[in-house]
Amino acid sequence: MRTDEWQAVSVDYEKLLPVVKKLTNLLKGDSLPRVFIRCLAKLEDRTIKDGMNKEQLSKLKAADARAFNKMKQRMRKDNKSYAKDISSYRENPVDSADEEASAANAVVESDSDDEDQAVPSTQTARAVPKAKQAARDSDMDSDDSQWDMDDSEVSSSESEDERQVGFSRWLKKAPTKDESSVKKTKKDRSQRSTPAPAAQADEDEDDGFTTVGKGGKVAKKVEVTAESLNKHLKAIRDARGRKGTDKKETVVMLDSLLGVAGNALQRCKVLMTLISAQFDESSGQSYMPVEQWKRSQSSINELLSTLEANRQLSIFETADAHDDDSDVAYAGEEATLRGSVVSFIDRLDDEFTRSLQTIDPHTPDYIERMRDSVPLYVTIARAQSYFERAGLQESLCRVVLRRIEHLYYRTDQVNSQVEAAAAALKTSGESRIVSGGDIESVVHGLCTFLYQHADPLLRMRAMLMHIFNHALHKRYY
């Protein structure tokens, strides 16, 4: 080894140590390979025993000198773990050539022993295929007996083939009378064994099985009525979230159930399940597609319209579940449904914000998407009116904060157009929180309501947005 190779030796030694560690775990107490011990002994002789003085080190490159000193320290530290193996090697040193020769002789002897031991097993293995071949021959004989072929016919065909030599044996020839009769007999037997398609179809119809379509689903159309609506709605709810459930087909089925609903109570139950299914349809995507978002908004508006037209109905989280068929005879009395309208509003607003974060703002799609903020604000204002009338304080605070989030960063000129669209609705003028007037009074009324009734987190957010709106219009006093 040359004196300018210490840097490469140090790198190779660092790569070798992890391999030796894994090998030590595999050997479980056995001695390490003699090659590795011989390498450690020689490295120890070159670094510690022989070594280098200062004059020799000064002639090396700086990198090689550092590598040599590093190897010298490593040998003093690492060889303590292998001191016993190194000492035994020094007592009986073996060169690499002798070691390889002895290893080769050991391999040859082991191979010859393996061959001697493998002879009986090979003979035994040969006996097994013979037994299998005898079994196959017996099976073939039984198959030939089923066809009832005449041995004379087979022997005659073979004798004719033997009489023809050369290429004439493989040329196309007209079938003889005997061959044609044999083929006809086989064809008749096959026709008798295989039933006709029409007959097979008749047999299948008589078996009592139901014809199914793609995916194992029954092809027969199911009739849904107002009396059986709860049963089908419960089946759809139970299948929600299961593996293999088609989300698009679920939405289509709920749309059909919505057309069968016989009263406002059933309509609200189907609409709440439909809205949840529409949001589930876009799960796993970066944002909800615009068309799906608009369909969900339309369903939420339809639910709010149903609640506005039937004020005896109310939806909140702690209500009793109506899974029975008692809603079939609903005649307009007061009733409650278990659900969360504010969660639909939160999800709709969040999906709108997520789409604005994903769409490129330099494209026309972003401008088109921004135009949906006004219909969304109208939906939030309608939900606020419903929560005020139903007395749901917690949901009311959450939806009021959503309304402020759509107002505080805009100027009064823009917000006046948005409020004009919201004022076109009948229910939007019934709010006790916002009494009309300019945009400044609207924002002030919404924020003041949260200061008085919301929890500390919502109050803090409302305060920051209120301050930002004042600063936007330069109202610093």
pLDDT tens by residue, 149-199: 444 444 444 455 555 555 455 555 665 655 556 555 555 555 544 444 444
Look at residue 121 in the predicted model and tell me its pLDDT. 43
Q: Are residues 287 and 352 in contact, defined by beta-carbon separation less than 8 angstroms?
A: no
| For residue 231, pLDDT beyond 50 | yes
Task: List the structure tokens of 236.
Answer: 């759809």
Pick the closest to residue 230 from 203, 262, 200, 202 (CA basis). 262
Measure the CA–CA gap between 101 and 89, rounded to whole angstroms.
18
In Å, how far are 41, 148, 342, 357, 395 from 347, measured between CA atoms?
Answer: 72, 77, 9, 15, 14
Query: What mean pLDDT is predicted for residues 450-456?
Result: 94
* ∠ Cα 408 413 419 (to 5°): 70
- Beta-bridged to residue 315, according to DSSP, are 337
Higher local confidence (pLDDT), 114 or 27: 27
Does this model's pTM top 0.75? no
Please give the pLDDT value at position 232.
86
Q: What is the DSSP letter of 103?
A: H
How far, rounded to the nearest angstrom, does the alpha carbon of residue 15 sit from its chain's CA centroid?
39
Q: Give residue for tokens 């304080």.
A: 393
Q: What are 285-327's pLDDT values in tens digits?
A: 889 999 999 999 999 999 999 999 998 999 988 887 766 667 7
Q: Alpha carbon of 200 to those of 111, 194, 218, 359, 417: distances in Å?
A: 64, 9, 21, 58, 72
Long-range CB contacts (< 8 A, 24+ apart) of 91-99? 93/38, 93/41, 94/34, 94/38, 96/35, 96/38, 99/34, 99/35
Phi/psi zone of residue 36: left (φ > 0), alpha (ψ -120 to 50 degrees), beta?
A: alpha
Q: Which residues contact 472 (CB under 8 A, 6 or more apart)?
A: 408, 409, 411
- Give me the half-sphere count of Cα atoms (radius 13 Å) on the Cβ side of residue 28: 1
Residue 67: is it exposed, middle or buried by C-beta count within 10 angstroms (0-12/13-18/19+)?
buried
Cα distances from 99 to residues 20, 37, 91, 113, in angstroms, run 20, 13, 16, 21
* pLDDT number for residue 11: 81
Q: Tokens standing for 211?
A: 């014809």
Task: Say how far apart CA 352 and CA 356 lie, in whole Å.
Answer: 7
Residues 85/37, Cβ–Cβ less than 8 Å? yes
Distance CA 267, CA 362 (A): 42
Which range among 22-31, 33-42, 170-179 has the greatest average pLDDT?
33-42
Q: Which residues contact 461 (CB under 8 A, 6 or more apart)?
A: 401
DSSP run (H or E) holding 105:
helix 96-147
Which of 477, 467, 453 shows the shortest CA–CA distance to 404?
467
pLDDT tens figures, 399-441: 999 999 999 999 999 898 888 877 776 554 467 887 667 889 9
Higher pLDDT, 104 or 457: 457
> What's the gap between Cα 427 and its chain centre?
44
| Both tokens assigned to 255 | 């749309």
Considering only CA atoms, which of 31, 11, 125 is closest in space to residue 85? 31
